[in-house]
Amino acid sequence: MSSQSAEPEQTALPLQTAAWRVVGEVLDTYIIAEQDETVLFIDKHAAHERINFERLMAQGVEVTGQLLLAPHTLELDPDEAAALLQEQALLRTLGYDLDDLGGGTVLLRQIPADLPEAEADASLSEIAAHLQRGVKDSPENLRAELLHTIACKAAIKGGWHTEAAERDYLVEQVLTRSDLKYCPHGRPICVTLTKKQLEKQFKRIV
Ligand SMILES: [Zn+2]
């Protein structure tokens, strides 16, 4: 499932070289910045997910893994477990390593280095569901889909508190890179409101 061709039209962002100011964050989800005469609303989860995705893609054939200090035992639906165990080689290239304990139970020994351990089990179940659905996908598309899942699970979530330094980093990345217009699922990362649009709303101009 490629979202590339289905991407909606992007509203023109201000010149990337112009100075910007991070104003703050609302609803623990949207970072507000201003640049030139435009107010920018940045979805922090979408931005972080895309940054993660691009970094994972850039790692090439093999995503770096981290060994779990204590392996996780997961009780899965037997069909999901079978789908995972059939794709062991692919999973290893994504940073996962697991063993079959039989009867739908798997032992998860290693996960992608970018992924917080708390997201390990959820990411693997989601990948299992993808693998069950995604048999018709080309290997490249399937791999990209699975990297989307990892990027999403490794990203800060809407509703979480974000430190000022993290906000500054996300805004800087979004405004200085040309590959961060949409999250890997095709949702926009940045929505803008211009001075003119505001003035119209307040009926300062017609
Ligand atoms: Zn996501």
Q: 47 alpha carbon to ligand 1 midpoint, in Å?
A: 9
Position 12 scores a pLDDT of: 55
Secondary structure of residue 35 in the 3-state scheme: strand
pTM for the model: 0.83
Helix, strand, coil: what percent of the chain each, to 5?
40, 25, 35
Range(s) for CATH 3.30.1540.20 in the chain? 20-56+157-201
Q: Is the pLDDT of residue 134 over 90?
A: no
Q: 146 alpha carbon to ligand 1 midpoint, in Å?
A: 12
Order the strands of the 105-112 sheet from edge to edge: 65-75, 105-112, 97-102
In the chain, count of helices (H) and strands (E)? Answer: 7, 7
143 CB-side CA count, 13 A: 19
Q: 195 alpha carbon to ligand 1 midpoint, in Å?
A: 30
Q: Is the pLDDT of residue 59 over 90?
A: no
Token look-up 């392996």 returns: 71
Q: 180 alpha carbon to ligand 1 midpoint, in Å?
A: 14
Q: 46 alpha carbon to ligand 1 midpoint, in Å?
A: 6
Mean pLDDT confidence for 64-71:
96
Q: 121 alpha carbon to ligand 1 midpoint, in Å?
A: 16
Q: 72 alpha carbon to ligand 1 midpoint, in Å?
A: 23
Q: Which of the following CATH numbers is that of domain 64-113+115-153: 1.10.238.10, 3.30.1370.100, 3.40.50.300, 2.40.50.100?
A: 3.30.1370.100
Mean pLDDT confidence for 52-64:
90
Q: 120 alpha carbon to ligand 1 midpoint, in Å?
A: 15
Partners of 83 in beta bridges: none
CATH entry 3.40.50.2300 includes domain 20-56+157-201: no
Q: Which of 54-63, 67-76, 141-150 has the highest mean pLDDT?
A: 67-76
Q: Which of 17-21, 57-61, 139-143, 170-174 has the highest mean pLDDT?
A: 170-174
Q: 188 alpha carbon to ligand 1 midpoint, in Å?
A: 12
| Position 44 confidence tier, pLDDT thresholds 50, 70, 90 | very high
Range(s) for CATH 3.30.1370.100 in the chain? 64-113+115-153
Position 4 scores a pLDDT of: 45
Mean pLDDT confidence for 131-146:
82
Query: What is the rounded CA–CA span in Å between residue 190 and residue 198?
Result: 17
State what percent of residues in the chain have pLDDT above 90: 72
Position 6 scores a pLDDT of: 47
Q: 157 alpha carbon to ligand 1 midpoint, in Å?
A: 8
Q: 161 alpha carbon to ligand 1 midpoint, in Å?
A: 16
Q: Which two tokens stand for residue 53?
A: 């995705």
